[in-house]
Chains A and B, each alone.
Chain A
Amino acid sequence: MAANEAYISGIGQSEIGTKLTRSPLLLTVDAVREALDEAGLTIGQIDGVSTYPGRVPAFLGFSPVGADELIDALGIRATWYAGGGEITSQLGAVVAAAAAVRAGQARHVICFRTVYEAAALARPDEYSRPQRDRVDGSSQWTAPFNAISAVNWTAQYAMVHVKRYGLKREQLAQIALTARANAALNPRALVREPLTMDEYLSARMISSPLCLYDCDRFTDASTVIIVSAGSALDEVKCTPVRIAAMAGSVERHSWDQAEEMACYPTGADLWKRTDYKPADVDTVQLYDGFSFQAVAWLEALGFCKFGEGGSFIEGGKRIALDGELPLNTFGGQIGAGRLHGFGFAHEAVVQLRGKGGARQIAGDPRVAISTSGGGPLATALLLARD
């Protein structure tokens, strides 16, 4: 173990559901408790907290719990903490924590992402969204055209692949079919029923070429990743997973001015920061808020060339649980629920520790990639069990 490196120690997850009544703070505490238990740490040993995107009062379902609240609720004596949305997407919070422990600012950092979008929608009196007369900021460039959802923005990147590179619906379907097959083996997954190709192809279109099953759905859950300093691993009882490389980028922080998505420069940068090669990777956990993002990440990370993502996943065998590059083995966000980025880091650690149960990949996986975002913001982590 290298003293100056950052490791993932404990990981935890709350129940994953919709319209949960347990409060978002307590869901977060559930995930914290599980992560501490696994790491063999007590809350008194935690000296840092990192979250994305911090508490968002204007849209509480999106992010109901901030670092401030968790720190005070659990009596954490933090020497470093951070929380905010102006970072290279959700796993940017893990990147920040890794940088902090490497710089000696903290020893054990709780990183968390708590979502409560389904409950908030069901209980608008408690979690209302403000009604604005007029839109401003970046929304003004899309909302007046009723390009309201990220699906509208992502779909246009996907359409370039359909029209210029021949991406077929039957190919794109493999992301959703793989996710749902894997979710069926994950006891915590939100959707446990497998999806057939016929069901996919006959689903209603949301924003072409993306149909209902290409989209994740509102979820209530919390995910925790504890990042520990290499010099503090003697306090940790679980197998540490090294954060071997990290990369992130922002493409204009805009869904329409950037010609291509931020996953591409991020994927290229990741390989500049490590001696590992794509062929060394045992499993990939790639952001799939919309299925096409996972396709783009496969291209961005160099598993295939730009525009060849569709043929790379054709038939689904390659990315299946028993394939050469198992993808989103927990079900991704499409199957397991919209954990919003953190689920991908959680699952990489599960697999690298051999704790996947019915969904554990074969062999002795040692290297995994986790990503979040991919549109205007992107983060990629290369994780290794040494």
Chain B
Amino acid sequence: MYYNLLRSIKLLSDQESVEFGIDNAYDHLWLLSHFREQKISNKNIIYKETPSRRAHKGTVYKSHKLLKPFDSIPKLLEYLNSKRYTIIVYFMSVNIVKLWWLNFPFLIISYVVIPY
């Protein structure tokens, strides 16, 4: 059961970044809403269609890279909200924050200024 949002916290050696352990992080994509005032400067999002209940058990969905450009997090979240996607891997740089979300166990937030 998931009774805590953040399972762990780890400060990274660059003294600028922090790693939060989040169970089933893809269920908590809403956390990105807190960075909604930042502009996205770079992103790498790989997703799969979420299988419907009626789909055959053996149905394998291909992984795709999200190519559609988004300059802000609200637009990205609004787009994803209307889709049946499961995010597999994502990396995103917004103006002052880098976000990694690797295979869902961790959200790494790095507060560094990214040249763009």
A binds B: no
Residues of A within 8 A of B (CB): none
